[in-house]
Amino acid sequence: MSETTPAGAIHDIGYRRYEGPRLGASYIRRSLFLETLRGSFGLGRSARSKIMPNLMFGVLVLLAVVLGLVAGYFGMSELPMGYEEFVFSMQVPITIFLASQAPVAVSRDLRFKIAPLYFSRPLSRPQYVQARYAGMAAALFVLTAVPLTLLLAGALLAELPWREQLPDYVRSIAGAAVAALVLAGVGLVIAAMTPRRGLGVAAVAGTLLVLSGLQGTVRALAEEFGDAAFAGYAGLISPFSLVDGVMAVPLGAESVMATPPEGFVMGAVFCAVAALLVVGCYGSLLLRYRKALR
């Protein structure tokens, strides 16, 4: 005997759809942002990955603390190294931090081709890039702002007049924010060029160092040559000196350079270049991730 086989049916075996509240796209973006930020300091990752970034962070913090202590101990009338100088002088640890962490933010997704997983969620390409960019920039900001704040604290404890310290401090914090945006952009774009982590680290560090060296050398040549304006424009070459220039003219800070940019025109050029760089890096990242979806 045989029965006519019934038409296909899906049986209720207790599987339940999730009908509850779903956190929206903003939650995803916030999570991605936080993951990038925390991941840059090794939080949420293996113990080994915490060493490098926190080592660099520690160097900066240590220096800030030492400067404050020295000012206090010797009863100096001002800090041995100013706030504006601080970020510029700490180029190397900041570069190493960025070089080692930028690949973590972007190369991993590209290397293991898991970028499509992100985009199968309600997360658009611009939102993904924004979250990653913002996370990296926030990490760099923390990296610089915390030591700067400790520097202020040290200065105040050394009984330096706060009326003098505060404006400089505020300017340098603004500068740190600009630096964070510019450096994060440059670092992420370079790191996203290669899925290999080692090469990404070397490429980011190499580029920033070469630009820095170029900047110094071109500036030295221009100064030898005797053209101060030319020397001022040399600051456009390296992101660090670019930020220094942005701080010098519009924000009125004291520049680190012997030949800083001066005047409205130069100031405007510096700001424009900085803005263009940020926008350009963002655009490049968008393009890179369009390719990643194939």
Q: Which residues contact 48 (CB under 8 A, 6 or more apart)?
A: none
- Residue 277 CB, shortest distance to other proteins, in Å, is 17
Q: With binding defined as CB under 8 A, does residue 95 bind other proteins? A: yes
Q: With binding defined as CB under 8 A, does residue 45 bind other proteins? A: no
CB-based contact 84:175 (threshold 8 Å): yes
Nearer to other proteins, 29 or 288 (CB): 288
Q: With binding defined as CB under 8 A, does residue 205 bind other proteins? A: yes
Q: With binding defined as CB under 8 A, does residue 62 bind other proteins? A: no
Read off the tokens for 263.
């005047």
* Sign of the alpha-carbon torsion through 80, 86, 91, 92: positive
Q: What is the DSSP letter of 46?
A: -
Q: List the one residue from 36, 40, 194, 259 that touches other proteins (CB under 8 A).
A: 194
Q: With binding defined as CB under 8 A, does residue 213 bind other proteins? A: yes
- Whole-angstrom distance, CA of residue 271 vs CA of residue 15: 58
- Whole-angstrom distance, CA of residue 34 vs CA of residue 138: 9
Span from 33-41, 95-103, 126-134, 255-263 in contact with other proteins (CB under 8 A): 95-103
Rg (the chain; Cα; Å): 24
Number of residues that bind other proteins (CB under 8 A): 32
Query: Between the CA of residue 16 and those of 13, 19, 20, 121, 127, what are the distances in Å?
Result: 9, 8, 11, 20, 31
Q: With binding defined as CB under 8 A, does residue 3 bind other proteins? A: no
Q: With binding defined as CB under 8 A, does residue 70 bind other proteins? A: no
- Residue 19 CB, shortest distance to other proteins, in Å, is 34
Can you give the binding site for other proteins, defined by CB under 8 A? 1, 52, 92-93, 95-96, 99-100, 193-194, 196-199, 201-203, 205-207, 209-210, 213-214, 216-218, 221-222, 224-226
